[in-house]
A and B are shown apart, each in its own frame.
Chain A
């Protein structure tokens, strides 16, 4: 029968071994995969300013990006490809609340430069290799 000290070894041993594997895999991902998959060479000052704005206004509080965030407004990872620059600029700069089908977005009324930075961020993130996410709708005619 299992003794208390054996149970303790199971806990400590299991934790240490899995944590070391986790650190190793993380190191591998961050050092060699992320720079290529996210096209880190395209991470310009403009894109970074866009990310700052993205966080400053808690866009993730309604939308998702990389599938992460809230489920009140559309997933935006591929929005640049889906809607294009003109549409997104209109949404970001309008002073009247944007409300498709009655669901309101905060009227941020961004300046043209801020909107361009945010679009730079969305364009950059849209080019990330996400292992096939978001999926293509199989039954779409």
Chain B
């Protein structure tokens, strides 16, 4: 740790991990409900568990990104954060807004718009919070000695993420319009600007871990984020096939979203090539595992499994089925969950002074969580494909099909237990 103010990142990571644990608990509630064991229905009905599960995901990832930014920006700009106290206040208010929203979901205080369930009055607090965060980052960069490409790409991702939150706050009477702009937030976040954040963090880690020349790494960073936007912006069209807009999106969305895996492929090849090229061998083997892991698993989960159902001819059948959950889980884990884990593995030893570089617990955490998540993805995939054929091809009624596929949720819960064990070990190791 070169700058004292980087310490604030520790608490963002701690908050992030706390929310992840809660997210997993609510995930189990849903897994059991799908199996037919919905004993908590009266207190936590499925729609509550679902809203809590997905919103906690968004907030723990954002908290992880914010922590990473508070760590990276001082080191890249070569200056302390301008206001550390404000950064702590920002964390506390983020926690308060998050907790209020999550409690509200248990008392019917929400807006039923997938991923954007936070009620609009609370949205304004989220906006104020994110503006505070961006203010600290931007002023620090402005006052800094250097403005590196890595820092600029990361900051650009964070600024665009904040701007893109706004279309989701507009009210529309027409459900099609509502859905159209909801994807401006959700799709352009996860298949657009969040990839800038991921790319920025990945570039920083590769520079530190492999010792490859910054100019080389940052050149390829531009290529990767270029591929991301060229495919991802028009790729939004894959959400517009069947929501009440015209056929042009079938063509545009089909072609450009089919190109989206290229950005993730580039990211995977980039990470591996830099690792091979690097002469410096950083002792932090755990951080290296996670860094290479995130580049590869994101290609499989976000790239390939997305491609599997992105063409309109396929999506006609898989749209709105468990196939989406299959892709969603490995994509979010591989691209965003794992990049946060990579960064924590790299930063925590520096923040705490403990050399947690290559312990058995750390490696076990890596393998258990990844194998567990792969197993979950397979379980969702089998359930999803069975659902698609039975319901959409054979025409068996929804509920009857759900009975047929209950058993796959037993497999899901077993794999999720393995995943949760891995995550617990990770948190135990880095507490």
Contact = CB atoms under 8 A, between A and B. Distances in A.
Interface of A: 2-4, 7-8, 10-11, 14-15, 18-19, 21-22, 25-26, 28-30, 33-34, 37-38, 40, 43, 47-48, 51, 54-62, 64-75, 97, 100-104, 106, 121, 125, 128-135, 137-140
Nearest to B222: A7
B399 to A, nearest CB: 5
13 contacts: A18-B230, A18-B233, A25-B234, A34-B176, A51-B178, A58-B111, A60-B114, A61-B117, A75-B398, A103-B402, A134-B392, A135-B317, A137-B392
A18 B180 contact: no
Contact of A128 (B33, B105, B244, B321): B244
A101 B175 contact: no
Given A37-B246, A70-B50, A125-B175, A14 B229 contact: yes
Contacts of B218: 4
Contact of A71 (B227, B325, B399): B325
B229 A18 contact: yes
Interface string B117-133: 10000000000000000
A103 B38 contact: yes
A40 B174 CA distance: 8
B236 to A, nearest CB: 7
A140 B246 contact: no
Interface of B: 30, 33-34, 36, 38, 41, 45-48, 50-51, 105, 108, 110-114, 117, 149, 173-180, 215, 218-220, 222-223, 225-227, 229-230, 233-234, 236-237, 240-250, 252, 256, 316-317, 319-322, 324-325, 387, 391-395, 398-400, 402-403
B38 A4 contact: no
Contact of A15 (B173, B226, B237, B316): B226
A18 B168 CA distance: 21
Contacts, number: 207
List the 3 closest A-B pairs by CB distance, nearest first.
A61-B47, A137-B395, A140-B395
B399 A100 contact: yes
A106 B234 CA distance: 39
B112 A55 contact: yes
A139 B394 contact: yes
A11 B45 contact: no
Contacts of B114: 60, 68-70
A129 B174 contact: no
A29 B112 contact: no
Contacts of B400: 101
A72 B101 CA distance: 22
A67 B403 contact: no
A70 B322 CA distance: 9
Nearest to A64: B320
Given A3-B219, A74-B398, A129-B244, A38 B174 contact: yes
Contact of A37 (B46, B237, B245): B245
A101 B112 contact: no
Nearest to A138: B393
B320 A130 contact: no
Contact of B50 (A51, A55, A72, A134): A72
Contacts of A72: 30, 33-34, 46, 50
B59 to A, nearest CB: 17
Contacts of A66: 175-176, 179, 242-244
B48 to A, nearest CB: 7
A15 B250 contact: no
Contacts of B243: 66-68, 130
A26 B391 CA distance: 32
A87 B395 CA distance: 20
Nearest to B318: A67
B244 A37 contact: yes
B180 A30 contact: yes
Contacts of A103: 36, 38, 399, 402
Contact of A11 (B112, B173, B226, B234): B226
Nearest to B223: A7
Contacts of B36: 102-103
A3 to B, nearest CB: 7
A24 to B, nearest CB: 11
Contacts of A11: 222-223, 225-226, 229
Given A4-B222, A51-B175, 10 more contacts: A11-B223, A14-B229, A14-B230, A22-B236, A25-B248, A25-B249, A34-B244, A57-B47, A65-B175, A67-B319
A50 B292 CA distance: 49
Given A2-B219, A56-B108, A139-B395, A106 B177 contact: no
A111 B368 CA distance: 50
Contact of B393 (A14, A102, A106, A137): A137
B357 to A, nearest CB: 32
Contact of A61 (B46, B227, B324, B394): B46
A22 B403 CA distance: 42
